[in-house]
Amino acid sequence: MQNAKDTFYLTLQARLAALNPSRTIVLRGVVRPATLVDENELPTASIPTNSFRLQWTKLQVAGASPLPRVAMECAIHYATDGTAANGGMDRGRMLAAMDAELASALTAPPHTVPKMNYAATPPAAMQTSVFWADPVFGAVCEDAERLARTATVQVFAYQEAGEL
Amino acid sequence: MSTTPSVAPVARRVRAYFAPVNRAAGTPTLFDPARLGRFPLQTPPAPWLDLGWIAKFVRKSGTKVDALRAGAPAMAVAQVRTEVDASVALEFETWGKLQSALASGSQQTNLLATAAGAAPNGSGGLAAAPVPLLTGTGPASTASALNVGATAAAAFSPGSLVAVDVDYTGQLGYIGSGISAACVQSAAVVANDINYVRRVTLNVGVVASIANGILSLATPLPAGAPSAGMQVSQLAGFCDREGASFFQEWSALFVLPGTQGDRILYHYPRLQAMQSSAEAAEPLATPLQTIRLAAAFRALPVRDANDGETVLCFRSYLPAPLRDI
């Protein structure tokens, strides 16, 4: 399952970075594309804005298939305060831009990528592919000047022999 | 390398490709899955035309298998196919010319721009004079660039719809360049209308830009570079009629791309429309609804050259790489 999670995350990160290369974040002193997985980072109370944060939530395993099929729900959180230069009055536009980037990244074909084992050096292609459904966008949450949204997407993969 | 157990295919949707049937010769376009099965979905091999993703694709087999019984009490001792039948129903996601023609069930007319003072008519009144393609003046016309000259080009604008085909000069039988669009029984029935072929042709395009008397089309004409004698008529849209007599017949290919690199292909060499024009309304949000073109076809037989079997449809499966079979 970890291979599927890593593959989906890096695919989404690459697609989002290609759509908007200027959307970056400084994390642990390093400038990187503004897409991260919460469980891979240090626990923190501060929520980064203008970035996409992935959380793996629900999990289902269908064992009837010759290869167990895993369905994982990925919740993608993002928020913006707008820019200080505009007094935050552009926060709606900035959230719309993030909506559009995420929608484009998740709905553009192909909707399947070969599963990779990133624990190997160099990363090794596995024999099955990771695939996903269309995203479902939740309602906007307002907290003072901050606008936030969560989109969820079902990610599927097959557990290969010997894979953990 | 070791193989992996195969799993049931998972597919998002179905993509449709159609190719013309030579109606005069009764020759379909055959698709060879052994040679071309893994073609890129965006670029089908010629002469297949990409009609895009479709919805509610349903295959139905009407083939009947009966038991031959003998003895008392009667017991099944053998089986026999008493009837072979198959049909396909689908909904198109777009309303292009080809999609609407296929879903019309019969010949579809182009709503040609009318001549001044033309009497009203349900499928469009008397058409305006066509615009000739220039020869010997400037570049030759191609499938995606029509040389009409600067004077005539002034009557077009980006977005203009055009039909490009030969004049009607008394042809009988199947007409329409590239694709049989209608069947003419007599010249008198079509009033010897010089524009009749352009009125029904599927050789249409959209003008994307105009420069130096050249109409550049957004996509190439299905019939390729215009032949001598072809002219251009502007049109407003398309029209089909309940009760028209022609049966559309096409070769069809439906592709389900699997998520694991596998692929299912359904090839119907001969599909004839089996219902008149219909739409399916899908509620969007009150009071909005999406209107999709709904089409249904009956499969007609072809002979498989490998063993002489008379069949209606070929279903092929291309497994994902390195899978158990």
Which residues face A25 on adjacent strands? A32
Q: Decide if A109 is inside a domain.
A: yes
Nearest to A131 among B5, B6, B10 (CB): B10
Distance from CA of A72 to the nearest CA of B (A): 16
Is A66 part of the contact surface with chain B (CB cutoff 8 Å)? yes
Q: Count CB-CB contacts under 10 A for residue B269.
A: 25
Reported as a pLDDT band with limits 50, 70 and 90, residue A1 is very high
Total structural domains within chain A:
1
Q: Which residues on chain A are in Cβ contact (under 8 Å) with B8?
A: 65
Reported as a pLDDT band with limits 50, 70 and 90, residue A163 is confident
Alpha carbon dihedral A103, A104, A105, A109, in 10-degree steps, equals 120
Task: Tell me if residue B103 falls in helix, strand or coil.
Answer: helix
Q: Which residues on chain B are in Cβ contact (under 8 Å) with A131?
A: 10, 259
ipTM (interface predicted TM) = 0.86
Q: Which residues on chain B are in Cβ contact (under 8 Å) with A160?
A: 4
Q: What is the CA radius of gyration of chain B?
A: 23
Residue A106 has pLDDT above 80, yes or no: yes
Nearest CA in chain B to A162: B4
pLDDT value at residue B136 = 86
Q: Decide if A163 is inside a domain.
A: no
The DSSP element (H or E) to which B69 belongs, if any, is strand B64-70
A155: nearest Cα among A82, A74, A75: A74
Residue B40 has pLDDT above 90, yes or no: yes
Is B325 part of the contact surface with chain A (CB cutoff 8 Å)? no
Q: Which residues contact A29 (CB under 8 A, 6 or more apart)?
A: none
Residues of A (109-148) whose Cβ lies below 8 Å from B:
111-112, 127-129, 131
Nearest CA in chain B to A107: B12
Q: Which residues on chain B are in Cβ contact (under 8 Å) with A158?
A: 7, 260
Mind listing the pLDDT tens digit for each residue in B115-159? 999 999 999 999 999 999 999 888 999 999 999 999 999 999 999
Distance from CA of A30 to the nearest CA of B (A): 35
Residue ranges per domain, chain B? 14-66+79-104+247-318, 110-115+126-239
Q: Decide if A75 is inside a domain.
A: yes
| B143 and B161 Cβ atoms separated by less than 8 Å | no
Tokens for A123, please give them: 């990363």
What domain range includes position A29?
A: 2-158
State the pTM of this model: 0.91
| B189 and B113 Cβ atoms separated by less than 8 Å | no
Is B13 part of the contact surface with chain A (CB cutoff 8 Å)? no
Nearest CA in chain A to B258: A112
Nearest CA in chain B to A128: B260
User: Which CATH number belongs to the domain containing residue A50 in this structure?
Assistant: 3.30.2000
Nearest CA in chain B to A132: B259
Q: Do A69 and B7 touch (CB under 8 A)?
A: yes
Q: Decide if A164 is inside a domain.
A: no
Residue B113 has pLDDT above 80, yes or no: yes
Residue B114 carries which DSSP code? Answer: B
Determine the length of chain A. 164
Residue A164 has pLDDT above 80, yes or no: no
Q: Do A65 and B260 touch (CB under 8 A)?
A: no
Reported as a pLDDT band with limits 50, 70 and 90, residue B322 is confident
pLDDT value at residue A47 = 81
Residue B64 has pLDDT above 90, yes or no: yes
Nearest to B259 among A65, A67, A129 (CB): A129
Mind listing the pLDDT tens digit for each residue in B293-305? 999 999 999 999 9
Distance from CA of B43 to the nearest CA of A (A): 15
Residue B181 has pLDDT above 90, yes or no: yes
Q: Decide if A11 is inside a domain.
A: yes
Q: Do B259 and A131 touch (CB under 8 A)?
A: yes
Average pLDDT score over residue span B226-240: 96
Counting Cα atoms < 13 Å in the Cβ hemisphere of B102 gives 33
Which residues face B22 on adjacent strands? B27
Percentage, residues of chain B above pLDDT 90 = 93
A99: nearest Cα among A146, A151, A49, A153: A151
pLDDT value at residue A162 = 84
Q: Which residues contact A3 (CB under 8 A, 6 or more apart)?
A: A115, A116, A117, A118, A119, A126, A157, A163
Reported as a pLDDT band with limits 50, 70 and 90, residue B77 is very high
Average pLDDT score over residue span A58-82: 94
